Structure 1
Amino acid sequence: MHHQNIKITVLLFVLLEVSLLFGQQKPNIVFILSDDAGYADFGFQGSTEFKTPELDKLAKKSVKFTQAYVSAAVCGPSRAGMLTGQYQQKFGFEENNVPGYMSSSGLLGDQMGLPTNQLTIADYLKKQGYTTALFGKWHMGNADLFHPTKRGFDEFYGFRGGSRSYLPYDKNNVLTKNEDRLEKGFGNYLEHKGYLTDKLANEAISFINKNKKTPFFIYLSFNAVHTPMEATKEDLKYFSHLTGKRKTLAAMTLAMDRAIGTVLDELKKQGLDKNTLVVFTNDNGGPSDANQSNNNPLSGTKANHLEGGIRVPFLMSWPGKLKKNTTYNYPISTLDLFPTFLNVANGNSSKLKQLDGVDLMPYVKGENKERPHKVLFWKKENRAAIRNMDWKLIRFPDRPAELYNIKKDISEVHNLAYQYPKKVKELYKQLFAWELTLERPLWQLRREFEGYAAKRMDAYKKTNTK
């Protein structure tokens, strides 16, 4: 009897230990970001031209957000907002940081980067016991002081700049910018073999294998499908029905989709899939002129504040926690990623008063029936936009402001500014009041590029819903 009691006591103790272990187990977080993809260029977004079987499978396991927004229409500022959970204009990161294209009135070259007084989500997740890694594009500054390993990431494999070749640099593919060099860790430069999209996924898989016993955060920041337009012959063969850049883009998208699938398969192979939060989204709207991306039914492109520049595909999967194959239809922002990630890691985002994003979990779980955001803002120099509930005002430097009801007019073809002048005035003042809280831009593109942006917008601005 005595021995039986001891056995029962030991068994209960083991069960208690196991219960505590699993009860305290923090979820892994895998954040996958594509670059310059078109809103409609995925199967789960309705494309019949492109093949994205892996992301389509993920969509069936996910909550799909139908009104997901980035905080900027170009990649650098958009990523700064994601990483900090704040409107990036608050700390002067209003414009893309592209050496060689900037006005001499601000910071130049490698001086441009995410200010070092701004902590990233990786900084905060490290404090929660996470091992953190970035694979791919950084674009938060080329100088050593901005390096990912000094901004919260334990591991880095990628490049510091905003775009680069998918093929290794050599005598036949000449490197022209130092920030394009492929780097492992800090200062270890060595070009890859094969196609970069595949290599980034392989590095993520290796990281998962090494860190499967502790919670980890992966920021898988593909440069796909940003220019240059480079695809493998094998992938191009799948798209004989397409031609030109559109064909190449489809092949590049397929390669990225396949790479994502290998990472998700590895999570499942290691038994980690059920305890991993996976998010997939894009950094801004597709630049239809540069890569023939399709943003339908949205108007506009990358680099403007029409929906086609700022609304993005967005999937969130967490088995057992979020209902699979569902949609969430209120507007959200990629600023919400920071507080969402922090809170699922047992952090407390409510203590961080600087955040503009919100924790999405209470909303997608149905615990909070309100909108995550009643108001969202965008700004780049004189151009700006505000969305208040379903009303959206866009301010331009070269024409009167335009007003749209986004719920009724997703393609922004019916300008209501002259029908509702009081609403225009109200939103104009609300937008300006927000702008008064912002820092001056630390750097800006040369003024001539504003003219190019206006022409680009006009070229892809819809005039009807077809």
Structure 2
Amino acid sequence: MTNHMNNLLRLLSLLLMVATATTANSKTPNIVLILSDDQGYTDYGFMGHEEIETPNLDQLAKESTVFRRGYVPTALCRPALSTLITGLYSHQNKTTGNDPARTPANNAHAERAGKDARELLLTHIDRTGALPLWLAKKGYVSFQSGKWWEGSFERGGFTEGMTKGYPNPGGRHGDAGLAIGRETMTPVTEFIDRSVKAETPFFLWYAPVMPHTPHNPPARFLDKYLKKGVQERVAQYYAMCEWFDETCGTLLDHIDESGIADETLVIYVTDNGWIQKEVGGYGPRSKRSPYELGTRTPIMFRWPGKIPPADRPELCSSIDFVPTVLAAAGAEGPHDFPGLNLLPQLQSGETIERDTLFGESFAHDIADIETPEASLLYRWVIKGHDKLLLTYDGAPGYMRYPPQHAEPQLFNLKDDPKETENLAEANPAKVEELSALLDEWYVPKQRQAGKLAPPAG
């Protein structure tokens, strides 16, 4: 009888251990998005930059699954962020640019609705919904900090946040939220502390306006690059990259010191690229452009004990962010998403069975807030290392670097990562093959490839 009782107690103890382990393993993870602003994909230590020092992001890369061939579908601030929060391409969520242009079409929309076109643009997120809303159904709290274009933080479904949004003063893209990183980290760390104390899973949107202009880094960073002999204006940008890296270290250290690293999925991405000019401003083929230094970004996933560190050769896109996060949280969206849920492959290390990515570029100012094609300038597809770029006759409005040529552009990114040699004329069959993939993605009905928009006026 005693032996029987002992065996029963051991069995119960074992079952309790299994149940406890299962509960721990299935605990809903916290989600932290780190979003860089205007940073070239090469501009990190771990990406091989010879001057820029990013020790904290280098460490994150060592602890993460890293996709060095990551991309954003639309390389401009607001559309890039809108894709991240809605899980939809710009032509689907209709937020294709930063601001509504003063066009007859937008004036007509405003007159019919009796509202400013800027307010009407905000209604797009009302229609699509957003990630914080879907996570809230699984008990998540959420916090918005940094850049945010879609009105108040509440409009995006965040339970807490810093941005009041349009029409409040400075509400175009962040108002009070823009202090994060540059001036303070306290709102973010206090939100984490509250969530940990309440034992509530959380989603953190950390999107400081860094290394975005103004390039006004602390002297301790700037002096370092000036002493290296870097030209002053370029040194300011390099120093901004390191200052941003320092803020990421502050955030990651706080997560680790709070004892929640193993319960937290950290994802890193950039909104668009950057080429710093010595005279100031950004160069062509970077921000706003469909070229590699505009659309490419390292994408990282850190979840200790769940996602093993790895350097992945496959393609990855920010369009995958929402479905992957929803899967990690055990949550669901209101519809299917065009991106992939990468979680199974991130955890198993198995190859991602996808060799094709798509993207699109539009004018900075939206010609028609209800018709995305009105501002369509480019569409691109990457299959393996082949990239096709088609130009369209959408209205560019005011652009620093509008399209100059209408012919197809074909590049081999493995041999020519800087996209200097157009192979289209010598490879018509490849152009036809990749053009067909673009049309399988979607077919523009109002714009024509191979044409430039007529001059305004």
TM-score (norm 1): 0.78
Task: Determine if the alignment matches structure 1 residue 237 to structure 2 residue 238.
Answer: no
Aligned-residue offset at 1:138: 0.3
Over 3 Å counting, the alpha-carbon distance change for 1:49 and 1:102 in structure 2 is: farther
Partner of 2:294: 309
The two structures, once aligned, show a CA RMSD in angstroms of 3.3
> Is 1:218–2:204 an aligned residue pair?
yes
Name which of 394, 406, 411 aligns with 1:399. Answer: 406
Alignment of 1:116 with 2:161, yes or no, is: no
8 Å Cα contact 1:135-1:200 kept in structure 2: no
The structural deviation recorded for 1:150 is 2.6
Q: How many Å separate the matches in 2 of 1:160 and 1:51?
A: 34
- The answer to whether the aligner puts 1:319 opposite 2:304 as a matched pair is yes
User: Does structure 2 conserve the Cα–Cα contact (< 8 Å) formed by 1:249 and 1:291?
Assistant: no
| Match in the other structure for 1:460 | none
Deviation string 1:79-101 (CA, Å, 9 cap, x unpaired) is 1111111112113222x2236x6
**Residues 159 and 233 (structure 1), Cα distance of their counterparts in 2 relative to 1, 3 Å cut:** farther
Match of 1:68 in 2: 70
Higher relative contact order (CA closer than 8 Å, sequence separation 6+): 1
Task: Give the Cα–Cα distance (whole angstroms) in 2 for the partners of residues 374 and 180 of structure 1.
Answer: 32
Find the counterpart in structure 2 of residue 457 from structure 1.
Answer: none
Partner Cα distance (1:71, 1:438) in 2? 20
Aligned residue type for 2:257: K
Identify if the C-alpha distance between structure 1 residues 290 and 320 changes in structure 2 by more than 3 Å, giving closer, same or farther.
Answer: farther
Q: Give the whole-Å Cα distance in 2 for the aligned partners of 1:181 and 1:62.
A: 29
Consecutive unaligned residues in structure 1, runs of 5 or more? 162-174, 185-190, 441-445, 451-466
Corresponding residue for residue 335 of structure 2: 352
**Which segment drifts farther, 39-48 or 175-184?**
175-184
Aligned residues: 409
Q: 1:366 to 1:5 in 2, by over 3 A?
A: closer
Give runs of aligned pairs for residues 429-448 of structure 1, distance below 5 A. 429-432=436-439, 434-436=441-443
Q: Which residue of 1 aligns with 2:398?
A: none
Equivalent residue letter for 1:412: E
From the superposition, tell whether residues 234 and 104 of structure 1 become closer, same or farther in structure 2 (CA, over 3 Å): farther
Q: Secondary structure at the match of 1:111?
A: helix
**Contact kept? 1:90, 1:437, Cα under 8 Å:** no
Q: Is 1:86 the equivalent of 2:88? A: yes
Residue-by-residue CA offset, 1:354-393 (whole Å, 9 max, x unaligned): x111011223345643433524232421322222343211
Query: Could you say which residue in structure 2 is the equivalent of 1:343?
Result: 327
Separation of aligned partners in 2, 1:5 and 1:199: 61
1:139·1:160 contact (CA, 8 Å) conserved in 2? yes
Return 5+ residue gaps in structure 2 as ranges: 110-116, 363-375, 393-404, 448-452
Q: How does 1:100-249 map to 2 (within 5 A)?
A: 102-106=102-106, 108-113=117-122, 114-140=124-150, 142=151, 147-158=152-163, 160=165, 177-179=170-172, 182-183=175-176, 196-199=180-183, 201-212=185-196, 213-240=199-226, 241=228, 242-249=230-237
Quote how far apart the aligned CAs of 1:301 are: 0.7
CA contact (8 A) 1:159 1:179 kept: no
**211-220 vs 246-255, which moves further:** 246-255
Write the distance in 1 (CA, Å) between the matches of 2:295 and 2:434.
Answer: 19
Amino acid at match of 2:301: M
**1:398-447, Cα deviation, whole Å (9 max, x unpaired):** 3311111223322212211111112223333443454437899xxxxx99
TM-score scaled by structure 2? 0.79
Code of the aligned partner of 1:345: A
- Residue 414 (structure 1) aligns with: 421
| Cross-structure match for 2:256 | 268
Residue number in structure 1 paired with 2:99: 98
Give the direction of change, closer, same or farther, for the CA distance of 1:104–1:50 in structure 2 (3 Å limit): farther
Distance change in 2, residues 1:433/1:26 (3 Å): closer
Alpha-carbon distance between aligned partners in 2 of 1:367 and 1:244, rounded to the nearest angstrom: 43
Residue 353 of structure 2 aligns to a residue whose secondary structure is coil
Deviation of 1:71 after TM superposition, in Å, equals: 1.2
Write the deviation string for residues 187-228 of structure 1: whole angstroms up to 9, x where unpaired. xxxx96xxx415453221111111012211111011101112
Deviations 1:23-82 (A, max 9, x none): 331111111001001222211111221221111111111111121010101111111111
Contact preservation (8 Å) 2:389, 2:409: yes
State yes or no: 1:371 paired with 2:348. no
